[in-house]
Amino acid sequence: MAMKQVFSHPDVEQLELQGYRVISGLLDIYQPLLKLSLEDFSELVAQERVRRLPIASRLYQKLSTRHRLAYVEAVNKLARTAPEFALMEYYYRCRLIQDYISGMTDLYAWDEYRRLMAVE
């Protein structure tokens, strides 16, 4: 009953599609951080701004301090010599971005998406 009358209503479907586009767009925007090598991302985390990585530096600085600290704490618990270190670091890097975006309110996510997509 609810699926037919509430969740299938055109207004609800429109909001769902808009939300999907905003979240997908934000994930695409932050993708350069995921494309960095482990060494480059580690340098960015340590220095917060790397001159040769201007876009990644700006994106990294937009992430909340709370989320950045959680990433650092998680990675610091890993044994750097372990064979799975690179895989686990990348997992925590993905979580950093996912947790940051999922913690946004709908309005903040929409505003952030519009600002970064140069829609305004």
Whole-model pTM? Answer: 0.85
What confidence category does residue 7 fall into, taking pLDDT thresholds of 50, 70 and 90?
Answer: low
What confidence category does residue 14 fall into, taking pLDDT thresholds of 50, 70 and 90?
Answer: confident
pLDDT surpasses 70 at 2: no
The per-residue pLDDT for 19 is 85
pLDDT surpasses 90 at 17: no
Higher-scoring residue by pLDDT: 64, 118:
64
And the tokens for 88? 């686990």
DSSP 62-95: HS-HHHHHHHHHHHHTS-TTSTTHHHHHHHHHHH
Over residues 25-34, the mean pLDDT reads: 97
